[in-house]
Amino acid sequence: MQEFIFELKPDRSSELPWAGVVNASSLDAQRLKLLVDASLALSEVRDFEQLLNLIAKTGVEMANCEGCSIYGVEGENLRFLASTNLVLDQRAGHRARLVDGLRDFLIPITSNSIAGFVAKSGRAMNIPNVYELDPSLPFAFNASLDQRHQYRSQSMLTLPMCDTRGYVLGVMQFINHHNRETSAIAAFSELDTMYLTALANQVGVLLRNARMNDQLRESRVEAVKKFVIASEFTDKDTGLHIERMGRYSALFCELLGLGSAYAEDVRLAAMLHDVGKITTPDAILKKPGSLTAPEMQVMRQHALNGYDILRDSQSPLLQLGATVAGSHHEKWDGSGYPHGLAGEAVPIVGRIVALADVYDALSSKRCYKEPWSMDDVISHVSQLGGTQFDPTLITLFMDNLPRFTEVRHDFH
Ligand code: C2E
Ligand code: SIN
Ligand code: SIN
Ligand code: FE
């Protein structure tokens, strides 16, 4: 059997061209390791804010400095995204205040500030002492944060975060480098600058990908909502009903352990459950009283009509919406419509949305009915496991009622 070797012992005897720059022995390897660790972390962490905070910490470690802040380009400004500061973080309770104070902090992208200048010019700025800036420089140091936090910035390295095309996505700012031997605050070294530039550019690419994902996600949500609004009566109550339905459905997915990406798809697809009502005549849809048997028959066509509207879409999301529309009035015991499917023959999203729909419809006012009390809704629904609804879902629902109630409170 062949053995693979996954680690390599570095040869420290070789003369490296920059070996004289830094005295400490394996410092470069250590920094490179941090850089590699950071890249791996980048690809694994999901929560972007948490990730940026992690990167800021990595930067501080790599540069042997006190603080690191990350700003992202947002229109004409740099927006504060994350920071870490070893000195300030040690002060009890300071961390929360620091981050809170910075949350909405914007720096205009002009040459008046260090960070703005770096973003604008795409050039790194390595400043030994921010309080002794060369007066010929276009920017001044903004000492207000120092004053607010009773902190003393001295050396500052500010780097643009560039993507592979050289576009600036943001700025990383490192504060107060400590000499690794004397511990005294000193200017950032050439080598620190090299490694930190590599880190900053990685963060830049990451930031661009995250932005693109955000935009895609937003436009998906936007498109679904526009579609729903166009196809439904646009009153506020229906809008909230649809919002809640989506969230209940996503909650079921989460409780079933189906994963957050699927839950988000289901949230949006669930909102499409009744798009078929676009073909239902208003006289029936908005009839104040009960429907006659023929009217009910017309009404019930909304399930298949919705399915037809969505099913040939190229978008997997809209296809999921088609499944939801076509199956959200099926019942577990096979007595539902349009096909009378039973049990697990009903797609899981259909079973989920069926319960979410009825739970919300019963507790809401309709043109044909008054809202039921929450107690009545819950006792009614809980008795229908195994007949109208998937019994597994009813159990999940009853075991997690507070979480469903929370959604109701958040969107009413
Ligand atoms: P919807 O108002 O969104 O109601 C969705 C589902 O919630 C209904 O599906 C039903 O399963 C449940 N539901 C709502 N209200 C009640 C209720 O008072 N009692 C009980 N037991 N269940 C209720 P369903 O029955 O297939 O109806 C589908 C759609 O047909 C309804 O959507 C609504 O738009 C319309 N609809 C149903 N019944 C009437 C009615 O008596 N008058 C009018 N104008 N429309 C009705
Ligand atoms: C600046 O770059 O001048 C503002 C940011 C800071 O004060 O740390
Ligand atoms: C339907 O029930 O009409 C079709 C649902 C599905 O796509 O499986
Ligand atoms: Fe429906």
Residue 369 catalytic?
Answer: no
CA of 273, nearest ligand number: 4
Domain that holds residue 97: 27-211
Q: Does 367 have pLDDT greater than 90?
A: no
Q: Does 121 have pLDDT greater than 60?
A: yes
Q: Which of 277, 287, 331, 369 is catalytic?
A: 277
CB-based contacts of 55, cutoff 8 Å, min separation 6 = 38, 41, 42, 70, 82, 199, 203
The domain total for the chain is 2
- Judgement on whether residues 146 and 252 belong to the same structural domain of the protein: no
Is 162 a domain residue? yes
- The confidence score (pLDDT) of residue 38 equals 61
Backbone angles phi, psi at 383, to 5 degrees: -80, -5
For atom 12 of ligand 1, which residue has the closest CA?
Answer: 358
Cα–Cα distance, 155 to 126 (Å, whole number): 8
- Judgement on whether residues 297 and 152 belong to the same structural domain of the protein: no
Ligand 1: atom nearest CA of 366 is 2
What residues flank ligand 2, with Cβ below 6 Å?
107, 113-115, 141-142, 145, 173
- Please tell me if the CB atom of residue 347 comes closer than 6 angstroms to any atom of ligand 3: yes
CB-based contacts of 41, cutoff 8 Å, min separation 6 = 51, 54, 55, 58
- Judgement on whether residues 205 and 237 belong to the same structural domain of the protein: no
- Over residues 231-244, mean pLDDT: 71
Q: Does 192 have pLDDT greater than 60?
A: yes
Q: Give the pTM.
A: 0.61
pLDDT in tens, 51-75: 788 889 989 998 999 999 999 888 8
**Residue with the larger pLDDT of the pair 173 and 220:** 173
For 334-379, the DSSP string reads S--SSS---GGGS-HHHHHHHHHHHHHHHTS-BTTBPPPPHHHHHH
CATH code where residue 256 lies: 1.10.3210.10
For ligand 4, the distance from its centroid to the CA atom of residue 273, given in whole angstroms, is: 6
Lowest mean pLDDT among 24-38, 140-154, 315-329, 362-376: 24-38
Q: Does 86 have pLDDT greater than 70?
A: yes
- Cα 158–163–166 angle (5° rounding)? 80
CB-based contacts of 132, cutoff 8 Å, min separation 6 = none
5 CB neighbour count, 10 Å cutoff = 6
pLDDT in tens, 267-304: 999 999 998 888 888 899 889 999 999 999 999 999 99
- Judgement on whether residues 186 and 101 belong to the same structural domain of the protein: yes
Lowest mean pLDDT among 185-189, 219-223, 400-404: 219-223
- Judgement on whether residues 250 and 389 belong to the same structural domain of the protein: yes
Ligand 4 is a single-atom ion; what residues have CB below 5 A from it?
A: 274
E strand intervals along 228-362: none
- Judgement on whether residues 257 and 189 belong to the same structural domain of the protein: no
What tokens does 26 get? 């394996």
* Average pLDDT, rounded, for the chain: 84
Is 15 a domain residue? no
User: Could you tell me what percent of the chain has a pLDDT over 70?
Assistant: 84
- Judgement on whether residues 104 and 239 belong to the same structural domain of the protein: no
Ligand 3: atom nearest CA of 303 is 3
- Judgement on whether residues 128 and 177 belong to the same structural domain of the protein: yes
For atom 20 of ligand 1, which residue has the closest CA?
Answer: 362
Cα–Cα distance, 111 to 138 (Å, whole number): 6
- Judgement on whether residues 334 and 395 belong to the same structural domain of the protein: yes
- The confidence score (pLDDT) of residue 338 equals 97
Angle between helices 348-362 and 316-327 (to 10 degrees): 60
E strand intervals along 124-178: 125-127, 156-162, 168-178
Length of the chain: 412
- The confidence score (pLDDT) of residue 97 equals 62
- Please tell me if the CB atom of residue 291 comes closer than 6 angstroms to any atom of ligand 1: yes
Backbone angles phi, psi at 107, to 5 degrees: -115, 120
CB-based contacts of 259, cutoff 8 Å, min separation 6 = 253
- Please tell me if the CB atom of residue 362 comes closer than 6 angstroms to any atom of ligand 1: yes
Q: Does 87 have pLDDT greater than 50?
A: yes
Q: Any long-range contacts for 253-262 (C-beta under 8 Å, 24+ apart)?
A: 253/352, 255/396, 255/400, 256/348, 256/396
- Judgement on whether residues 240 and 94 belong to the same structural domain of the protein: no
- Judgement on whether residues 319 and 203 belong to the same structural domain of the protein: no
- Please tell me if the CB atom of residue 342 comes closer than 6 angstroms to any atom of ligand 3: no
